[in-house]
């Protein structure tokens, strides 16, 4: 009997005792969030990464406009490799460091920036969202970072300056076959207070952007049976398009053909070093050469007087299978030395990517697609959400690395795990 009683007693000790909860305990658990009535605000609050914004952008934007942002040239190998390069990174954190306070600011081209990235120049931006370049400029000004306006923009130089009068504005130049029209834009940018000129040099001809060709993309979008069907689940985009100022190039006027035809008609395959020297002589501000993809070209444009070189393969939108800028970065830094200013773009989709680029040798970075995904997802608020996401990711990455400021990042903090190792060349 005593043995049986002992077994029952032990079994009782192992049971979970249940009771009815007190009312005050339930009240502490039942905390309901206030409802968010704005669909845009709900959409943006749910976005925790740039990829989340991309998904939201795809749902809200017609195929031709989304594919223009999302796509690249030919088989899109350059873009895929650029993204993979950032994914193939190992960080090396230091521990037992006081990282309660972090400084994300830096200096770019002699002036301060609150964050180590700018909004890159993008074409046809009002096609992505009717707020277009104005939204980008205002969000950038609020965040204390530069905004770059493209020659192919859909908002004028003067309107961008007026939209964000306290912002820092850069202008991106394609050297046209009509040199006088190119320089008219440069003069207008200087008169409007733009402090930096980005001269893009990797576009002797347009890349084969096959998504755009297949979509027959034009400015403004052409209404065909296919586009009408595509528009049905996205009525708000079309309402915005039809009830705001007509969509057109701010610097080019009307164009009757496709975008591919326009680019081939405008870009000049005869541009040389002499053209860059000629532009520099006429531009009063800082000069950045965008589209550098070899060490020799980086040295040459530096010697021609560029204030910074921007390592970029145009977001994979020009030459497919082009060098990956992130892979090229350490070699260019070694060749140009510690005092040269080197910027980086292509494939950047997170704050971790930005930190990796800075640690590997870049002084500054630019974001293009990431900004446009936010714009498509929610206009100016969506751009602000892009910046907010990247800012939070940068800060957290620095803290986890044991780093308190951008200036403390060094190559010791990152290793590039390179999948594509070149075969030895036969130099005979």
Q: Is 17 exposed, middle or buried (0-12, 13-18, 19+ CB in 10 A)?
A: exposed
CB 351 within 8 A of CB 394: yes
CB 369 within 8 A of CB 72: no
CB 216 within 8 A of CB 267: no
Residue showing tokens 């037992």: 96
CB 350 within 8 A of CB 51: no
Give the other-Cβ count within 10 Å of 199's Cβ.
Answer: 25
Distance between CA atoms of 121 and 149, rounded to whole angstroms? 5
Distance between CA atoms of 79 and 86, rounded to whole angstroms? 11
Give the other-Cβ count within 10 Å of 316's Cβ.
Answer: 28
Q: Which of the following is catalytic: 129, 314, 343, 413?
A: 314
Mark whether 327 is an active-site residue. Answer: no
DSSP for 184-220, please give it: HHHHHHHHTT--EEEEE-S-SS----HHHHHHT--SS
Residue showing tokens 């075969």: 423
380: left (phi > 0), else alpha (psi -120 to 50), else beta? alpha
Distance between CA atoms of 370 and 132, rounded to whole angstroms? 14
Distance between CA atoms of 310 and 341, rounded to whole angstroms? 9
3-state class of 427 per DSSP?
coil
Per-residue buried b or exposed e for 38-59, using 16+ beta carbons within 10 Å of the residue's own CB: eebeebbeebeebebbbebbbe
Kindly give the residue spans of alpha helices, DSSP state H, lying in 235-339. Answer: 235-243, 259-266, 273-282, 295-303, 325-336
Active site residues: 314
């Amino acid at each position: 009997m005593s043995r049986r009683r002992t077994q029952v007693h032990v079994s009782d000790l192992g049971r979970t005792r249940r009771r009815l909860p007190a009312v005050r305990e339930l009240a502490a658990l039942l905390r309901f969030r206030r409802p968010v009535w704005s669909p845009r605000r709900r959409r943006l609050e749910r976005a925790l990464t740039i990829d989340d914004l991309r998904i939201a952008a795809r749902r809200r934007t017609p195929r031709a406009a989304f594919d223009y942002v999302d796509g690249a040239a030919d088989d899109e190998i350059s873009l895929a490799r650029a993204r993979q390069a950032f994914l193939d990174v190992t960080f090396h954190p230091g521990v037992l460091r006081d990282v309660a306070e972090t400084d994300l600011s830096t200096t770019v081209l002699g002036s301060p920036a609150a964050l180590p990235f700018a909004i890159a120049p993008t074409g046809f931006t009002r096609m992505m969202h009717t707020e277009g370049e104005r939204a980008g400029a205002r969000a950038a000004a609020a965040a204390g970072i530069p905004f770059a306006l493209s020659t192919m923009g859909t908002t004028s130089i003067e309107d961008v300056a007026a939209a964000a009068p306290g912002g820092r504005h850069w202008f991106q130049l394609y050297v046209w076959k009509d040199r006088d029209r190119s320089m008219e834009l440069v003069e207008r940018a200087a008169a409007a207070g733009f402090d930096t000129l980005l001269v893009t040099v990797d576009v002797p001809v347009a890349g084969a952007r096959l998504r755009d060709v297949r979509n027959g993309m034009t400015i403004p979008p052409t209404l065909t049976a296919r586009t009408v069907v595509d528009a049905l689940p996205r009525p708000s985009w079309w309402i915005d398009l039809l009830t705001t100022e007509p969509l057109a190039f701010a610097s080019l006027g009307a164009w009757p053909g496709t975008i591919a035809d326009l680019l081939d008609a405008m870009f000049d395959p005869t541009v040389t070093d002499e053209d860059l020297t000629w532009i520099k002589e006429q531009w009063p501000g800082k000069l950045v050469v965008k589209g550098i993809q070899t060490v020799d070209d980086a040295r040459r444009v530096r010697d021609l007087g560029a204030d910074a070189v921007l390592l970029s393969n145009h977001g994979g939108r020009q030459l497919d299978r082009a060098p990956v800028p992130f892979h090229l970065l350490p070699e260019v830094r070694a060749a140009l030395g510690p005092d040269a200013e080197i910027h980086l773009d292509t494939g950047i989709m997170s704050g971790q990517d930005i930190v990796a680029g800075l640690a590997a040798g870049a002084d500054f970075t630019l974001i293009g697609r990431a900004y446009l995904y936010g714009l498509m997802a929610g206009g100016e608020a969506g751009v602000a959400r892009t910046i907010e996401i990247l800012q939070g990711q940068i800060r957290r990455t620095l803290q986890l690395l044991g780093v308190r400021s951008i200036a403390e990042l060094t190559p010791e903090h990152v290793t590039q795990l390179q999948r594509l190792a070149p075969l030895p060349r036969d130099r005979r």
